[in-house]
Structure 1
Amino acid sequence: MQKSFIFIKIYNFLRAYSIKNRVLELHTSPYGASMTALYMNDKSHVTRNLIYGYSNGEKYKGNPFFMGATCGRFAGRIADHGFELKGQRYILDSDGPVHLHGGGASLAFKPWTLKEIHHGEEPYIIYTIHSAHLEGGYPGNLEIEAQYTLKGNSLLIHYRGKTDRTTHLNLTNHNYYNLNGGGSIVDHKIKVTADKLLETDSLKVPTGKFTDLQATPYDLRKDIRLGDVLKHISLDHVYAFSKGHRRAKIFSQETGISMTLTTNQPGVVIFTPADLGEEQFRNITPAAFPAICLEPQNFPDAPNQTHFPSSVLEPGDVYSNSITLDFDLI
C-alpha cells in the first residue's frame, strides 16, 4: 500500500497544506480553512481535480465565490440583518441586502491556524480559529476547529465549536464540485433524499414555510440528469432532508466517478451557478453551469424561525457538523 505523505507548497507566498492517501489527494489553504483541490483518478486512470480552486492563492484572502471555504459564523441567509437572543437584539455585519455566510466578517475570509497535520493510513489536517465576542455582531467568544481526514475512498469533514456565552452557530463547506475536473456539470446525474424545499422570498430568505417537491421540477429524489433540471429552473435552494435519510449523490458518466454526501445536518443548500466569472482556476476551463455546490447545514434564518431546528450553542456544549464524501468508480 502506498504511504500517505504531506505536501507543503507555496502558492503566491501563501503556504498550502496537503495530504494524500492511495485514492485521494487534498490541498488546503489557511484562509477560510479552504479546500483548494481534491484529486482522484478516473476510470481511465486520468487524474481529475474534483473541486474548483483558484490558480492564484491570494484569491482566498477575499474569495468572492466562497470557493472551498468554511462559511460562518452562520452559513446561509439571516433576515433583517440580525436576531433576538435572550431578550437582546444583535445586529449583524452585512455587506448586502441580507446577512449571508457571516457577512464581511465571515470566517471564510480569515486566516485560520494550522493546529495539526498527520500522515499515515488516515491522514488529516486540523485548522483552528478564535472568533471574538461580537465579531460580525455575534455574541460569544468562539473556538472552532475544521478537520479534514482521508479514509480510504472517503473525505471526512468535521467542524467543532465551543462558546463562552449563548450564541448561534451554523457552519458549512462551500466546495464547487465537478467530477469531470472542470467544464460543465450538465451531464452529471444527481439524487437527493429530500421531499421538501424551504420556501424563500425575493431575497432568498426562508419564509418559514415548506414546499412539497412532488410533481415539481425541483424533485431530485430519483437519478436525474442535471441538464434536464437546469433547462427549466436554476438551483439555489435549501433542501430539507427526509427524516432518517440525509444523503445527496452526484455521478459523472464521463469519468465514472460518483460522490455520495452524508451528513448529520437537517438540510443542504444546492447551488448551480451559471458561470464563475473571469477567474483562473486549477481545473479544466469552466463552461456553462461549471459546478454544483452541496452545502450541508442547519436551515438558513434559524435564529428567527423558532420551528426550525435550533442553531443555539450554549456554553459547555459542543457544536458538531459532520460531512462524509464517499467517492467511487462506477
Structure 2
Amino acid sequence: MAQIVGETAGGRPIHEVRLSNGTLSVRLLSYGATVRDLRLSGVGHPLVLGYDDVADYAREVPYMGAIVGRVANRIGDGTAEIAGETCRFDLNEGAMQTLHGGKDGTGRRLWRIEEESDTHVVFADTLPDGHMGFPGTLDVRVRYALDGGTLEIEISAETDAPTLCNFASHCYFNLSGQQSIDDHLLTIDADRFQDIDARKIPLGPPVPVEGTSFDLRTPAVPPWGVDHNFCLADTRRAPREVLRLAAGGVEMRIATSEPGLQVYDGGGIEVAQGLGIEGRAYGPRAGLALEPQAWVDAANQGMRVQVDLFPGETYRALSRFAFARAG
C-alpha cells in the first residue's frame, strides 16, 4: 500500500508505492509520478539515479525519474500554432523556450494514485485549460507494471480541446554502479538524429548519423555532450526494440512505440555527497537519460502528427525497459 514519505512545499502529502515481483523492485513517488529507485535481483546497487530525501525532488531540477510533459523536451521560443491560434507557453529555460511543459509541468506536480497492486500502479493528473499556456483540459495517466525483468510504462491522455501532447519518462540509468557511464556500451537502432543549436533546438530536418559520433548502430560508449533526439520513425507504431545498454554485468533493452529517443549523458548533473540514493554523490555523466518521446520541437519542425491531440482521440505511449544479468 502507498505510504506517506514527505510533503510538498504547500503541505500536501507525497506517497511512495513499492512494486516487486521477485525479479524487479521499484519505488515510485506520487510527486512527478517518479521512479525513485529500481533494483534487479542479484545486483547490489540501484540501476537509476534518485534522491534519499523526498524534498530534494522539489528543490532540484534534473527531473530524475519523473514523467515530464504535457510536452516533453523543448518548444522553440515557447510558441506554436494550435487550431489556428498562436499560443505562448511558459518560458522556463533561459527565458528562451519551454522545457518539459513549463515550470509546473507534470514532472513537478503531485499526481493522484488511481490503482495499485504488488506489481502495478496507475498515477493520474489533470492539467487545466490554459495551464502553462496550453489549451485544453488534459487528463493524463501513467501505468507502471512489472512483468518478469521488464518495467512497462504506459502513458495515456485525453483532451477537451485541440492541444499538444508528448510525455516521457526521464530516468537516469547507471547499470554498473560506477561513478560515471564511461564503462557503458550503448546501441541505438537509428540512422538519423536531430542536429541542434546552442539552445538545443533543431537546426532543420534530421541528418544521418553515419560519419558522426552519434552513429550508435554498433555498441559504443555514450558520446560526450550528447543531448539529442535519435529519430526512430516518423510516427508512433507498435513497440519494437530500439536500444541496448550494457555495463557491469547488467543489460537493459528498450522497446517503444515512440518515434524518437532523447539521449542525454547527464553532463550537467551535480548532486552533493549524501543526497543521492544511499548517500551517493552524482557528478557529470553519473547517469544516462533515455527518454522515448516525440521529436524535439515537433510542432514547429513539420512533425505535428507526432504531438497534435484532438478531442475524441487518446494519446498512448508504451515503452518496455527489460533488465537482465549478462551471461
Q: TM-score, normalised by structure 2?
A: 0.90
Deviation at 1:184, TM superposition (A): 1.3
Superposed CA offset, 1:93-148 (max 9, x none): 112221111111211111000111112xxx10100001000101001001100110
Amino acid of the structure 1 residue aligned with 2:266: P
Please give the secondary structure, in 2, of the residue aligned with 1:47: coil
Match of 2:226 among 228, 235, 238: 235
- Report matched runs for 1:156-175 at 5 Å: 156-175=152-171
Amino acid of the structure 2 residue aligned with 1:219: D
Q: Which residue of 2 aligns with 1:100?
A: 99
Equivalent-residue separation in structure 1 for 2:107 and 2:283 (angstroms): 25
Range moving further from structure 2, 126-135 or 56-65: 56-65
Deviation at 1:300, TM superposition (A): 1.5
Aligned partners of 1:299 and 1:309 also within 8 Å: no
Deviation at 1:9, TM superposition (A): 6.0
Q: Which residue of 1 aligns with 2:269?
A: 276
Equivalent-residue separation in structure 2 for 1:308 and 1:167 (angstroms): 11
**Count of paired positions:** 312
Range moving further from structure 2, 238-247 or 31-40: 238-247
Taking a change above 3 Å as real, the CA distance of residues 235 and 8 of structure 1, as seen in their structure-2 partners, is: same
Aligned partners of 2:40 and 2:149 also within 8 Å: no
Equivalent-residue separation in structure 1 for 2:31 and 2:45 (angstroms): 23
Q: Which runs of 5+ in 1 are unaligned?
A: 1-5
Aligned partners of 2:181 and 2:287 also within 8 Å: yes
Matched, 1:85 2:82: yes
Q: Which residue of 1 aligns with 2:259?
A: 266
Amino acid of the structure 1 residue aligned with 2:160: D
Q: Which residue of 1 aligns with 2:37?
A: 37
Superposed CA offset, 1:26-73 (max 9, x none): 1011111111000113xxx34221111111101223441011001101
Taking a change above 3 Å as real, the CA distance of residues 210 and 183 of structure 1, as seen in their structure-2 partners, is: same
Amino acid of the structure 2 residue aligned with 1:294: L
Equivalent-residue separation in structure 2 for 1:84 and 1:53 (angstroms): 36
Q: Which residue of 1 aligns with 2:73?
A: 76
Q: Provide the alpha-carbon RMSD of the alignment.
A: 1.9
Match of 1:197 among 186, 189, 193: 193
Equivalent-residue separation in structure 1 for 2:304 and 2:136 (angstroms): 22
Matched, 1:220 2:216: yes
Q: Which residue of 2 aligns with 1:250?
A: 245
Please give the secondary structure, in 2, of the residue aligned with 1:105: coil
Aligned partners of 2:129 and 2:137 also within 8 Å: yes
Aligned partners of 2:14 and 2:110 also within 8 Å: no
Deviation at 1:287, TM superposition (A): 4.9
Aligned partners of 2:270 and 2:284 also within 8 Å: no
Equivalent-residue separation in structure 1 for 2:155 and 2:24 (angstroms): 20
Please give the secondary structure, in 1, of the residue aligned with 2:317: strand
Equivalent-residue separation in structure 2 for 1:265 and 1:150 (angstroms): 20
Amino acid of the structure 1 residue aligned with 2:37: A
Matched, 1:64 2:64: no
Deviation at 1:278, TM superposition (A): 3.2
Q: Which residue of 2 aligns with 1:3?
A: none
Amino acid of the structure 1 residue aligned with 2:39: Y
Q: Which runs of 5+ in 2 are unaligned?
A: 8-12
Aligned partners of 2:123 and 2:141 also within 8 Å: yes
Please give the secondary structure, in 1, of the residue aligned with 2:191: strand
Aligned partners of 2:271 and 2:283 also within 8 Å: no
Please give the secondary structure, in 1, of the residue aligned with 2:107: helix
Superposed CA offset, 1:194-230 (max 9, x none): 111112222111133211111211111001133xx33
Amino acid of the structure 2 residue aligned with 1:199: D
Please give the secondary structure, in 2, of the residue aligned with 1:199: coil
